[in-house]
A = this chain, B = another copy of it.
């Protein structure tokens, strides 16, 4: 959960940039959203796509995304539990943002093991 970056987002024109970051910040939110653009996924399907994320962390990130109205959680009252996650329209509207992030990353981040101050 990112800190509350500001109380209001009108302090300067660039503030809404931070406002958006508030939603997609959180160690795994970007990737989770990215995978949900493919379509609805079950909990463990997401887990398998993001192996480094612990179960607890994934739950947290999903809960925050849900609280922010970006995804919905659909529970099936079945015997082996089944929960499906999918994007809300609001979540889907983030697609250009995630795409921009991915394009830049593909061009500038690709397979860089240590990025600058990682050693500090």
With a CB–CB cut-off of 8 A, which chain B residues contact A8? 111, 113
A30, B21: Cβ atoms closer than 8 Å? yes
Among B14, B27, B96, contact of A100 (Cβ-Cβ < 8 Å)? B96
Cβ of A82 within 8 Å of any chain B Cβ, yes or no, is no
Number of interface residues of A (CB under 8 A): 66
Given contacts A5-B27, A69-B116, A117-B67, contact A109 B11 (CB under 8 A): no
Given contacts A8-B113, A12-B49, A68-B115, contact A98 B17 (CB under 8 A): yes
For the complex of A and B, list the 9 residue pairs with the smallest distance between their C-beta atoms, beginning with the closest. A16-B105, A14-B34, A19-B109, A20-B105, A100-B100, A14-B31, A17-B30, A19-B105, A20-B101
Which A positions have Cβ atoms within 8 angstroms of B? Answer: 1, 3-25, 27-28, 30-31, 33-35, 49-52, 64, 67-69, 90, 93-94, 96-118, 120
